[in-house]
Amino acid sequence: MTRILVVDDKEMMRDSVGAMLASKGHSIVVSASAPGAIEKIDSKSFDVVITDLQMPDMDGVELLRAIRERDETLPVILMTAFASVESAVEAMKFGAYDYITKPFSGDELVTSVERALERGRLLKANTILQARGVPAGGKACGREHEMVGGSESLVELRLRLRQIAESNSTVLVTGESGTGKEVASRWIHEQSDRSEQPFLAINCAALSTNLLESELFGHEKGAFTGASAMRKGRFELADGGTLLLDEISEIAPEIQAKLLRVLQERTFERVGSSSQRAVDVRIIATSNRNLEEEVASGTFRQDLFFRLNVLPLVMPPLRDHSEDISELVGHFLRRLASREGREPRRVDPDALELLKQYSWPGNVRELENICERAHVLSFDDLISAELIAPWLQPVGVIRGEARCPDPVSEVENHDGTVFICNGARRLEDIERDAILATLEKYGGHRQRSASALGIGVRTLGLKLKKWKESNLISPTT
């Protein structure tokens, strides 16, 4: 439902304008003065403001300017007596969307409001697109997010997803890297009754603490150096919709505390502001770490964990539903072929057998990559076992997950880095060794090391920072 704020010092006017719009199904809030209106705008989102031009204390133009300082896109319509049309025209320069001359008919009012709403929707969609374009913060839109697989575990998963989609509760999606946590989150949003509203994602591991805070909660003009204009955060932009907090385990304690508050009270403050804003956002958080362990080790707040873990969803690793491999391969090869407008490649039964035997440490994402590689590199229409066999070697470390062949042995990384792996070591130690070995191989070049390891350079940076802080590695690494 759209929210409209009606501002007029005359009660009769407020009530009749409010009633006309309420009859069209809008939700109406009224205010008898401009300062009162500002207070309301500071604590709740509106889609349109309609204000009288002449009011004692603070007039409509001043209100308009105050609104513009807070929000560049909120449409404002001025109501004016014929005698002051000139000042209304003048006010258009300060960014009023429209003005209507008193007395006006219900139709005139409704038409102006509908147009303003349309414009507001366009501007909001633009801001959301911009937010999605923030480097590494949001995911590209228009991605295919089908969930393929007829195995028992995927059928159960879909059933669970359907139940989750019907509720409004917070979801915590866990599972190894590449198991489809993000696909599942988008699926939930699309099947929910929020599907017409925005879905926004933010990768918590990719942003520094300060940037993450302002991306999440927005900031006021002048809140910090470089904050030249007010900016809405993801919580505000996703109002009415769903916000995906990807890799939630990576957030700093300060942000954990702030998130806890949003989850408890459904209100937050923009950076640099002290007014509380209310939002209606469904939260989905993902993690490929075991958050309970992070709670036990003190890096993740227990109270936040409980608030997030209302509806837990565990994504199965691909090796536990290898029955789906042939369907998934068919799906990926068809998609790749259709992009080029040709027939999909077929897979030799021996090759399929190899794929089914493999342990898939990188899960569906790894399978998707292998399919693409086979699609591109295969010399004929049939993908052979010889072609793919070399790509399915035991791999030491993929995206922070280590898997050791038994017994103790040397393990070769993606790029040929060899490190020693012994069954009794902690996963994190193995991960650290692999990262240090890769860094050494690339002369400390983080970008190259991160790509060789198949992780983001920021994730790599965060890990190094954490280890330095706990004196596990040298401060000069």
Ligand X SMILES: Nc1ncnc2c1ncn2[C@@H]1O[C@H](COP(=O)(O)OP(=O)(O)OP(=O)(O)O)[C@@H](O)[C@H]1O
| Binding site residues, ligand X, CB under 6 A | 145-149, 175, 177-183, 288, 328, 364-365, 368
Closer residue to Mg ion (CB): 98 or 246: 246
- List the Cα angle 115/118/122 in 5-degree steps: 140
**Least CB distance to Mg ion at residue 143 (A):** 12
Stretch that binds Mg ion, among 93-101, 123-131, 180-188, 220-228 (CB under 5 A): 180-188
| Residue nearer to ligand X on the CB measure, 177 or 192 | 177
Residue 270 or 365 having the CB closest to ligand X: 365
Residue 364 binds which one of ligand X, Mg ion, none, with CB within 5 to 8 A depending on kind? ligand X
Q: Could you tell me which residues are beta bridge partners of residue 6?
A: 30, 50
**CA-CA-CA-CA torsion sign (42, 43, 49, 50):** negative
Residue 145 or 373 with smaller CB distance to ligand X: 145
**From the CB of 149, what's the least distance to ligand X, in Å?**
5
C-beta of 185 vs 214, nearer to ligand X: 185
Strand-strand pairing, 48-52 and 199-203:
unpaired
Min CB(361)–ligand X separation in Å? 12
The binder of 380, among Mg ion, ligand X, none, by C-beta within 5 to 8 A per type, is: none
Size of the site for Mg ion (CB under 5 A): 2
The answer to whether 298 and 253 have CB atoms below 8 angstroms apart is no
Position with the least CB separation from ligand X: 180
Q: Give the binding range for Mg ion (CB under 5 A) out of 7-15, 175-183, 305-313, 423-431.
A: 175-183
Q: Which does 466 bind (CB under 5 to 8 A by kind): ligand X, Mg ion, none?
A: none
Interface pick for Mg ion out of 182, 213, 220, 431 (rule CB under 5 A): 182
Q: Does 250 bind Mg ion (CB under 5 A)?
A: no
Q: Residue number with the shortest CB distance to Mg ion? A: 182
Q: From the list ligand X, Mg ion, none, pick the one residue 401 interacts with, judged by a Cβ distance below 5 to 8 Å according to partner type.
A: none
Residue 221 DSSP code = T
- Listed as own residue / partner, the contacts of 304-309 with beta carbons closer than 8 Å and 24 or more positions apart are 304/256, 304/259, 304/260, 304/263, 307/170, 307/260, 307/263, 307/264, 308/170, 308/172, 308/248, 308/263, 308/283, 309/172
Q: How far apart are CA 282 and CA 169, in angstroms?
A: 7
34/205 with CB nearer Mg ion:
205
- 183 vs 464, which CB is nearer to ligand X? 183
> Which of helix, strand or coil describes residue 440?
helix
- The interface region with Mg ion, picked from 32-40, 178-186, 217-225, 405-413 by CB under 5 A, is 178-186
- Name the minimum Å distance from CB 186 to ligand X: 8
Q: Which of 91, 100, 113, 108 is nearest to 5 (CA)?
A: 113
DSSP code of residue 49: E
User: 451 is written with which tokens?
Assistant: 């790509």
Pick 214 or 288: Cβ nearer ligand X: 288
**CA distance linking residue 209 with residue 152, whole number of Å:** 41
Q: CA 180, 182, 185, 189 torsion: positive or negative?
A: negative
CB burial readout 28-61, b (16+ within 10 A) else e: bbbbebbeebbebbbebbbbbbbbbbebeebbbb
Closest distance to Mg ion from the beta carbon of 147 (Å): 14
Q: Nearest-5° angle of CA 243, CA 245, CA 249?
A: 160
Q: What is the DSSP string of 224-262?
A: STT--S-B--HHHHTTTSEEEEETGGG--HHHHHHHHHH
Binding partner of 177, given Mg ion, ligand X, none, CB within 5-8 angstroms per partner class = ligand X
Question: Closest Cα partner for 415 from 393, 382, 384, 385?
Answer: 393
CB of 182 to Mg ion, least distance (A): 4
- Distance CA(402)–CA(143), nearest Å, equals 29
Cis peptide before 135 (omega within 30 of 0): no
52 contact, one of ligand X, Mg ion, none, CB 5-8 Å limit per kind: none
Residue nearer to ligand X on the CB measure, 76 or 251: 251
445's contact among ligand X, Mg ion, none, with CB below 5 to 8 A by partner kind, is: none
Q: Which is nearer to ligand X, 60 or 175 (CB)?
A: 175
Please, what is the minimum distance in Å from the beta carbon of residue 163 to Mg ion? 22
Partner touching 411 among Mg ion, ligand X, none, CB below 5 to 8 Å by kind: none
Provide the binding-site residues for Mg ion, judged by CB under 5 A.
Answer: 181-182
